[in-house]
């Protein structure tokens, strides 16, 4: 390292906050120009950040795994508490969860034992739903059933189960479709954003 580089390094260290403020000012004045330059740079260096992340991951693997594990435990506990509270307070949310699970279990029961479950209390057309799902089943479902989930095309959060007839509409056979777990996760997140059930 030559004298000029040493001076630049020491100057940066001594004027860290000042440099930060100057960078922010420059960026706010030249925002569009910087965005264009950044895009050009990213396009010319497609794997740069991925490679940096991989290096960082392999260097700090054990710490990162432990940190993610702890975060996962915290969020699961928080989500579980929120869900319990909501199941107790929100009739629509409680019924949607219960009936969604009952459709999944009815389909699994038919696939395993060819038995069609009866819906005595809510009068859902399990038979119609099951045969609709069998007709539209993805080709690789039998080899990898965990890849797919049953989705409601018009989401359950858009119905009000306090209104008579809404439950039957929500569980019409034609309102069911197969989606991959990833697709269903993205759709559910978008549905919740638009939902009247949103907290």
Residue found by looking up tokens 């740079």 in the block = 41
Percent of the chain at pLDDT > 70 equals 97
Determine contact, residues 150/178, Cβ cutoff 8 Å.
Answer: yes
Closest CA to 132 of 161, 163, 94, 174: 174
pLDDT in tens, the chain (199 residues): 677 777 777 877 888 888 888 888 888 899 899 999 988 998 898 888 889 999 999 999 999 999 999 998 888 888 888 888 888 888 888 888 899 999 999 998 898 898 888 887 888 899 999 999 999 999 999 899 899 999 999 999 889 988 988 999 999 999 999 999 999 999 988 888 777 555 4
pLDDT at residue number 199: 44
**Residue 177: left (phi > 0), alpha (psi -120 to 50), or beta?**
beta
Give the global pTM. Answer: 0.60
For residue 83, give both structure tokens.
């869900």
Q: For 53-94, what is each residue's pLDDT tens digit?
A: 999 999 999 999 999 999 988 888 888 888 888 888 888 888
Determine contact, residues 139/180, Cβ cutoff 8 Å.
Answer: no
Name the average pLDDT for the chain.
88
């Amino acid at each position: 390292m030559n004298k000029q580089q040493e001076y630049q390094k020491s100057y940066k260290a001594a004027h860290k906050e000042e440099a930060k403020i100057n960078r922010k000012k420059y960026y706010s004045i030249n925002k569009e120009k910087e965005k264009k330059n950044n895009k050009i740079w990213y396009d010319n260096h497609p794997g740069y950040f991925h490679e940096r992340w991989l290096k960082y991951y392999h260097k700090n693997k054990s710490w990162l795994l432990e940190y993610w594990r702890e975060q996962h435990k915290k969020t699961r506990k928080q989500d579980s508490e929120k869900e319990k509270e909501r199941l107790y307070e929100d009739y629509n949310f409680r019924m949607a969860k219960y009936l969604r699970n009952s459709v999944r279990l009815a389909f699994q029961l038919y696939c395993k034992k060819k038995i069609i479950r009866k819906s005595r209390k809510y009068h859902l057309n399990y038979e119609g739903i099951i045969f609709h799902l069998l007709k539209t089943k993805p080709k690789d479902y039998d080899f990898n059933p965990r890849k797919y989930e049953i989705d409601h095309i018009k989401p359950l959060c858009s119905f009000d189960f306090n209104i008579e007839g809404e439950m039957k509409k929500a569980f019409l056979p034609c309102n069911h479709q197969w989606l991959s777990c990833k697709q269903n996760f993205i759709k559910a997140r978008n549905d919740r954003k638009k939902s009247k059930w949103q907290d």
